[in-house]
Amino acid sequence: MTTSADRARQGRDARKQAPRSAHATWIPSVDRSDPVAVLERQGRDRLPELLPIRYGRMSVSPFAFLRGGAAVMAADLAVQPHTGLTVQLCGDAHLLNFGLYTSPERALLFDLNDFDETYPGPFEWDVKRLAASVAVAARENGHAEADARAAAYGAAAAYRRTMRKLAGEGELAVWYTSVEADRLLPLLRSGRRRRRLESSLGRARRRTSLHALGKLTETVDGQRRILHDPPLLEPAGASDMAALRKIFSDYRSTLAEERRLLLDRYRFADAARKVVGVGSVGTRCFIVLLVGRDADDLLFLQIKEAGRSVLEHHLPHGPYDHPGHRVVAGQRLLQAAGDIFLGWLTGPQGRAYYWRQLRDTQGSADVAGMPPDNLRAYARLCGTTLARA
């Protein structure tokens, strides 16, 4: 059994493979793929009618391109030096993939919230993805270059400090560590921005699946139905509806027994195809409306296609053959408290999917327009949270 001192020594030895100075600059590979070609390869197996939406969203700003370009950055990171210290990566740890959600115990937590690209790999890749997103966000907000560097450095320093602190803790203590949402408040000085944040946290605590009722459903002939908002939200066709009913039954078997019993209290009412995110646009994604005790007792689940992680092309084969299983297992490992409805299955045409609750008090920071001091503080919180994961 190794001690914390032994592990610290192993970490210092690992730096010989990739000293800190080796991370200071990025040198493009001589055979670097054209970023547009990388995105086009990703699009070959996506719904072609949705790809213009994806590219349109990515073209809004440099930060939007970074959000949707996880595959581009993964290819760049793969040719850079690393220590060989492997963790379960988020795979896409940019600033806007952190946010608020409610734990099964109904505590409002701050954590990572996107795991489509999760995969075992070098710890540096998540840290660099976060730091790069901080720097790009700062520049987009018009911050001075010194402020952008300070914010990115702050994220990495917070990661390092938290890692050092947790290294001295017991395994269970680390496992149960979480970042409570109220830790956001001290990041802001008293005044208008702090009052706005307090108001946002209050709204987040109230923003459950029921909160989405008015926005996502309507009553038709006495029955709840999902609203139509094409092309972002469209009714599932007859064939899709039949397939969703079938795989909903199959998905149930991937849940723990007590969660199956809870799910059995709901009935399948409606389904629709939904466009989500930036990088995910074009993947097959549906939302399912379930009705419980009465017409106002609703549960929304999301079923989303899971493909290969953008990291898989650059790393050894991971422990999961099923992409949906990979996403679910990664989320359960990384989040402090997981979604009780996480599950996975193989759907029509052999495509892999995973299920989750559509919304359980989710929310993320409005990074656009953040002044330098707030962005530095938020970057530090994200670095701390990434280390905990």
pLDDT of 369 reads: 85
pLDDT value at residue 74? 96
How many whole angstroms separate alpha carbon 231 and alpha carbon 130? 31
Distance of CA 32 to the CA centre of its chain: 27
Cα torsion through 374, 378, 380, 385, rounded to 10: 170
3-state secondary structure of 88: strand
Instruction: Tell me which residues of the chain have a pLDDT lower than 50.
Output: none
The reported pLDDT for the residue numbered 29 is: 81
What pLDDT is attached to residue 197? 66
Q: How far apart are CA 263 and CA 245, in angstroms?
A: 14
- Compute the C-alpha angle 311/313/318, nearest 5°: 70
116-137 as b/e, with b when 16 or more CB fall inside 10 Å? bbbbbbbbbbbbbbbbbbbbbb
pLDDT of residue 57: 93
Closest CA relative to residue 127, chosen from 383, 374, 312? 383
186-204: b (≥16 Cβ within 10 Å) or e:
ebbeeeeeeeebeebbeeb
Backbone phi, psi, residue 132, to 5°: -65, -40
Determine phi and psi for 207, rounding to 5 degrees: -90, 80
CA atoms within 13 A on the CB side of 172: 0
Question: How far is CA 299 from each of CA 143, 304, 334, 358, rounded to the nearest angstrom?
Answer: 42, 16, 24, 8
Which of 283, 263, 267 shows the shortest CA–CA distance to 275? 283
At residue 288, the pLDDT reads 93
pLDDT computed for residue 22 by the predictor = 85
The DSSP element (H or E) to which 379 belongs, if any, is: helix 372-388
